[in-house]
Amino acid sequence: MTLTAQPEVVAAPAWQFFDASVAAVRRLGPSFVRLTLTGTELAGFGAAGCDQRFKLVLSRDDAGLARLRDRGQAWYPEYCALPEEQRPVIRTYTVRAYRPECAELDVDVVLHGVDGHAGPAASWAAAAVPGDRIVLLGPDRPGAGRAWGVEWAPPPAARTLLLAGDETAVPAVCAILESLTSGPRSVTALLEVPTADDAMNVALPAGATLRWLPRNGVARGSRLVPAVHAALCELGIASTPATPPEEVGDELLWEVPDPDAASGCYAWLAGEAGVVKTLRRRLVGDLGVPRGSVAFMGYWRQGVAS
């Protein structure tokens, strides 16, 4: 595989709030809804492709949101200073597709917990109808050098690529896979999803493999962890057991390797924090995969509001 060139990026990114509204709602499967967001301001959104992240900003109080917007790029200290009841709910999502020519952006939202303890973002998405207003927070242009908010960065020497994650990582993994072109690389993607009906059609580059791993009610990670282990053995990445696993704390794990590392393999792993920690222990501790070859990203925590 060869990678499509990263977009030319010329200036430092600027955070910006974007007004948008829901243009279309499409149920993709039992666990996913695709929202197409639109608004004239979105023509200037700085999407750089792959796993580009941005924030959905759910306003609880117009005055609180207005105070953040007044601060421009320095919104965060103001956000921390706002009383709880005025503070917008902010959640991180992936740009699944971006069409600047029609100022549209697609986001695929996992409807986790909507039958019980749904978080505010999943609840909002589950009830969304065309015309609903929403505010986005994202870059107004791609960042300088490495694109802002994009973690996918295999070293040029990497010839073996592994992507693995749970349902929250599906939009990022699908967008990454669709950005790849055929070439002398091996690409394996493993996605654990709640049910078999959550599998989606993805335009894969020649030679790439994508396996959907339906949980069907078994414990989170119980399909993904062994599948990653098996894939690493098949790919010849796993070596003999190395150092003992390192202790990791309760915080969201977020470790991304040096994009200039001269490694022959590169793994991108994202999903529920506990599962990602298990994968990290398994890969780095048990299998001796070099830490510098793997991006580990805790996207969310089961039962804990972001």
Ligand X SMILES: Cc1cc2nc3c(=O)[nH]c(=O)nc-3n(C[C@H](O)[C@H](O)[C@H](O)COP(=O)(O)OP(=O)(O)OC[C@H]3O[C@@H](n4cnc5c(N)ncnc54)[C@H](O)[C@@H]3O)c2cc1C
Site of interaction with ligand X (CB under 6 A):
53, 91-94, 108-110, 112-113, 117-122, 168, 171, 299-300, 302-306
Distance of CA 119 to the CA centre of its chain: 17
Closer by beta carbon to ligand X, 25 or else 118: 118
Cβ of residue 197: shortest distance to ligand X, in angstroms? Answer: 17
CB 214 within 8 A of CB 189: no
Identity of residue 267? A
CB-CB neighbours of 152 under 10 Å: 25
Cβ of residue 199: shortest distance to ligand X, in angstroms? Answer: 16
CB 144 within 8 A of CB 10: yes
Cβ of residue 171: shortest distance to ligand X, in angstroms? Answer: 4
Which residue is closest to ligand X by CB? 119
- For residue 262, the 8-state DSSP code is -
Closer by beta carbon to ligand X, 244 or else 303: 303
R_g of the chain computed on alpha carbons: 19
CA–CA distance, 110 with 114 (Å, rounded to integer): 9
Cβ of residue 22: shortest distance to ligand X, in angstroms? Answer: 15
Closer by beta carbon to ligand X, 262 or else 305: 305
Closer by beta carbon to ligand X, 88 or else 119: 119
Cβ of residue 299: shortest distance to ligand X, in angstroms? Answer: 4
Question: What are the phi and psi torsion angles at 176 (to 5°)?
Answer: -65, -50
Closer by beta carbon to ligand X, 36 or else 160: 36
